[in-house]
Structure 1
Amino acid sequence: MGKTTGFMEYQREIPEEVNPLERIKHWGEFVIPMDEERLREQGARCMDCGTPFCHVGRLLSGMASGCPVNNLIPEWNDQIYHGQWREALIRLHKTNNFPEFTGRVCPAPCEGSCTVGLSGSPVTIKNIEKAIVDRGFAEGWIVPEPPKTRTDKKVAVVGSGPAGLACAAQLNKVGHTVTVYERADRIGGLLMYGIPNMKLDKKTVQRRVDLLTEEGITFVTNTEIGKDITYSELKEMFDSIVLCGGATKARDLFVEGRELGGIHQAMDFLTLNTKSLLDSGLADWEYLSAKDKDVVVIGGGDTGTDCVATAIRHGCRSVNQLEIMPQSPLKRQPNNPWPEWPKILKVDYGQQEAATLYAEDPRRYLVSTQRFLGNDQGEVQELHTVEMKWVMDEQGRYTPVEVPGTEKVIPTQMVLLAMGFTGPDVSLLEQIGVERDERSNANAEFGKQVTNVEGVFTAGDMRRGQSLVVWAINEGRQAAREVDCYLMGSSTLP
């Protein structure tokens, strides 16, 4: 723990942010780092709670509770309080390969299960994690650590998102020769193209990729396994294969007018924007511009928020975000007890920016899209909606029902579908012969990560479905351990 009475003496503080009206003028990160004294005070709030729930990652009521990579949170909180930054970094890296990613984009289920949060505000774990690793890079403590010896085993990792990178990093540590294949032109998967730059600066991603390269991992871009290289060819070259392709099949909206121009999947919008930003600073115009358009984002999750923030930076005329679910309550409800993830209303950065710019929160709850209407050029011009209510059916399940007389028309020239993902691209799985579960994901037992095909493992969203970056890292690490056992008969990996 930190200071014995720290949680009673100090209040929770979160980092300040650049004013929304200023930060929407650029694509840089906008969280202002805390000074060391304030960080020490926040670390001091970590109490001697006996059984820390913060680092015991598990699913409760279908959502993460505690840290899925089992970060040793009380230990490095105590070390920060005592000024032992380098020791804290060692403890942090012991369980998490990429704390600079999770410290920026993780929703922090650890904080939702923090014991201090039972009767007050939880410890600012996420911010402390980010501060530790950022200081580690700034001080030069994080350097390439290639393995001292190499085995004669070769492993192919398909997909360079957080699961693939974590798996590759772990396998490389024990001396296997690892090659990571990525079909895009840059390494990072979701980290590179699925998350906007102002949320996760791509220089941060590239810095870690460069470090992994110096440690001996080979990265191959613009190469799609199953097309550019067949599974049979891959099998001849490697002793084991790990599939980390993610859940890339976006959920669609099949209503009248879906074929109109100006209606795009959110990930296409975000990916093209980041690629153009990195290639030319948006000077090549090879992206879907929201400038001077009335934008409607359908979907209330993180991806929808990222679309709102990106459209604002383009200079959209207005932005609405539609959600079929009701607004979350302001505080925990009796059916959502600690240490479950608190299902309460949050105002994320995109909504904050929209509210500052347009004087209202862009979210509209309990709204369903009925159809799209377009102009003579086949471009979307209107989105027709109706309000919904959730009604319990005879089986005790809640289903959405339209409320008559609540139809509305929203003018729009750009619609972004951010309704999540239904599963992985199954073409490679079919080529290999990997069995799939009822949700079309690669079928493999959690913790074992092995498929029905000899020598083929899987990790991340391709196995578990759309989830958090931190779960992907967890699965990548587990897959690495199981691959090492498969190749060597046993493993020293955690």
Structure 2
Amino acid sequence: MGKPTGFIDYQRQSRPERDPKKRINDWDDYTLRLDEKELKQQGARCMDCGIPTCHTGTMLNGMTSGCPVHHLIPEWNDLVYQGQWQEALKREHKMNNFPEFTGMACPAPCEGACVLGINEPPVAIRSIELEIVEKGFKEGWVKPEPPEVRTDKKVAVVGSGPAGLACAAQLNKAGHQVTVFERHDRIGGLLTYGIPEMKLPYRIVERRVNLLKEEGISFVTNTDVGKDYPISKLQEQYDSIVLCGGATKHRDIEVEGSELKGVHYAMDFLHANTKSLLDSALQDNKYISAKDKDVVVIGGGDTGTDCLATSVRHGCRSLTQFDIYEKKGDTRPDDNPWPQWPVIHRVEYGHKEASAVFGSDPRAYAVMTKKFVGDENGHIKEIHTIGVETTKDEQGRKVRKEIPGTEKVWPAQLVLLAIGFSGPEQHLIQKLKVETDNRSNVKAEYGKYKTNIEGVFAAGDMRRGQSLIVWAINEGREAARECDKYLMGESSLP
């Protein structure tokens, strides 16, 4: 611990953001960078706790507390304060293959569990994490490290999201010949097509993928295993298979009129926008445009926020986000103690941008959609809603009570459903005859990752359901270790 009084001497400072009114005119990273002096001060705020909880990685009250990849956070915070950046990078990569992904797009449950956060703003862990690896790339410290010895084992990883990439990276380190299959035209899964450019630029994903290629991993795109690539061929050619296909089956909304034109799933909207942006800078018009439309986003999570930011950049006429819950407070409620993830009101980048354009926060709270109404051409024109009160019954289940007199009609020509996913798509699972649990996820014990089919493993959202990038990396790494044990009888992978 380099500066015992650091948390007293310095205030929290996160990565600054570009002016919302300016950044909505482009698709560049909406954040700026802290300089080296500022980062050292932020590193000094880490208290080197006797029992640090920032890297515990556990579930409390249904939410993540601490870092699931068990990042050595106090160590690299102190190394940054000491100016030992290269050593900090080694510590960072020891537990996380892709700190640039988590540094840019993880909600940072580590900060929610920071001991300093009990009564002060927590350490700016995510900002420090990103700058360590970015400095590493800038200085040329991040280099391809192919294995010195190759085994004769071949492994197929299905899916190139964070779980698939982490799994492939680890299995490659063990010396196996790894091939990653991706059904889309670019590697990255939801890292590429589920997170907008201004939040996680594709060049950041591509930079790491190119490094993995140099280390010897093979990537096959535009190949949907089970459709374009026969299961029998996969099982014949590979000694083991790891399923990392994510949980991309949309959660349905049971509302009258949901079949109307102009009602889209949020992920379809985001995917098409990013593909068109990367292919042609939106010149091919192969995307769902929000330009000059009254846009309503249904769902209060991160994906909904990404839809707000994308719609603003398109030039929408108006923008509203429905949140079925009441507005949260600015401090933790009594039933949400540290080190649980703080359930508080947050103003994210998309909210700031919408406010800058339209003059107010776009969110409407405690609102339930009753029906969609279309015009004579079958296109959405308005949404009918009612206010609701959410409580819990004796069994802890959520109960929603409609409030008479709160009915409202909203104009809308574009509706984006950001209500999450119900589980993985089933065609590959069924063809492999892999067992599933009662939520339709692949059935494989956490920490073991073995399915009921010999040599087939599963990790990430496909196994645990919709979750965080950092959980996907955790599971990909651990599944690689178990797969390595299966192939070799033992493993030195962490």
Same-fold call, TM > 0.5? yes
Q: Judge conservation of contact 1:2–1:77 (CA < 8 Å) in 2.
A: no
Displacement, 1:48?
2.8
1:368 corresponding residue in structure 2 = 368
CA distance in 1, matches of 2:477, 2:491: 12
1:48 corresponding residue in structure 2 = 48
CA distance in 2, matches of 1:396, 1:466: 22
CA 486–395 in structure 1, closer or farther in 2 if over 3 Å, else same: closer
- Matching residue's letter, 1:186: R
- Matching residue's letter, 1:259: E
- Matching residue's letter, 2:451: T
Q: Judge conservation of contact 1:162–1:188 (CA < 8 Å) in 2.
A: yes
1:158 aligns with 2:172: no
Q: Helix, strand or coil for the counterpart of 2:484?
A: helix
2:281 corresponding residue in structure 1 = 281
Matches within 5 A, 1:73-472: 73-393=73-393, 395=395, 397-472=397-472
2:485 corresponding residue in structure 1 = 485
Q: Judge conservation of contact 1:154–1:176 (CA < 8 Å) in 2.
A: yes
CA 41–396 in structure 1, closer or farther in 2 if over 3 Å, else same: closer
Unpaired runs of 5+ in structure 2? Answer: none
CA 41–412 in structure 1, closer or farther in 2 if over 3 Å, else same: same
CA distance in 2, matches of 1:395, 1:97: 41
CA 21–158 in structure 1, closer or farther in 2 if over 3 Å, else same: same
CA distance in 2, matches of 1:93, 1:327: 38
CA distance in 2, matches of 1:48, 1:246: 36
* TM-score normalised per structure 2: 0.99
CA distance in 2, matches of 1:393, 1:447: 34
Q: Judge conservation of contact 1:226–1:428 (CA < 8 Å) in 2.
A: yes
Cα distance per residue 1:421-458 (max 9 Å; x no partner) = 00000111111111101100000000111101000000
CA distance in 1, matches of 2:391, 2:326: 12
Cα distance per residue 1:356-385 (max 9 Å; x no partner) = 111111111110111111111111000000
CA distance in 2, matches of 1:70, 1:418: 30
* TM-score normalised per structure 1: 0.99
CA distance in 2, matches of 1:490, 1:391: 50
Displacement, 1:252?
1.8
- Matching residue's letter, 2:239: D
Displacement, 1:13?
0.9
Q: CA RMSD in A?
A: 0.8
1:39 corresponding residue in structure 2 = 39
- Matching residue's letter, 2:341: W
CA distance in 2, matches of 1:228, 1:71: 38
Cα distance per residue 1:183-236 (max 9 Å; x no partner) = 000000000000000000000000000000010000000001101112111000
4+ residue segments displaced more than 2 Å: 391-398
1:61 aligns with 2:31: no
- Matching residue's letter, 1:315: G
- Matching residue's letter, 1:45: R
Cα distance per residue 1:229-275 (max 9 Å; x no partner) = 12111000000000000000011212111111000000000000000
Displacement, 1:395?
4.3
CA 396–63 in structure 1, closer or farther in 2 if over 3 Å, else same: closer
- Matching residue's letter, 2:108: A
Displacement, 1:328?
1.6
CA 394–70 in structure 1, closer or farther in 2 if over 3 Å, else same: closer
Q: Helix, strand or coil for the counterpart of 1:92?
A: helix
CA distance in 2, matches of 1:491, 1:30: 41
Displacement, 1:392?
4.1
CA distance in 2, matches of 1:261, 1:57: 42
Cα distance per residue 1:271-329 (max 9 Å; x no partner) = 00000000000000000000000000000000000000000000000110001112122
CA 79–384 in structure 1, closer or farther in 2 if over 3 Å, else same: same
CA 343–259 in structure 1, closer or farther in 2 if over 3 Å, else same: same
Q: Judge conservation of contact 1:323–1:363 (CA < 8 Å) in 2.
A: yes
Displacement, 1:394?
5.4
1:25 corresponding residue in structure 2 = 25
Q: Judge conservation of contact 1:24–1:353 (CA < 8 Å) in 2.
A: yes
CA distance in 2, matches of 1:386, 1:262: 21
- Matching residue's letter, 1:372: F
- Matching residue's letter, 1:123: V
CA distance in 2, matches of 1:396, 1:106: 29
State, as a whole percentage, how many aligned pairs show the same letter.
63
Equivalent pairs, count: 494
Q: Judge conservation of contact 1:322–1:365 (CA < 8 Å) in 2.
A: yes
CA distance in 1, matches of 2:392, 2:78: 48
Q: Helix, strand or coil for the counterpart of 1:21?
A: helix
Q: Helix, strand or coil for the counterpart of 1:370?
A: strand
Q: Judge conservation of contact 1:2–1:43 (CA < 8 Å) in 2.
A: no
Q: Helix, strand or coil for the counterpart of 2:475?
A: helix
Q: Judge conservation of contact 1:448–1:482 (CA < 8 Å) in 2.
A: yes
Cα distance per residue 1:326-373 (max 9 Å; x no partner) = 212210111111111000110000011111111111111110111111
CA distance in 2, matches of 1:88, 1:392: 46
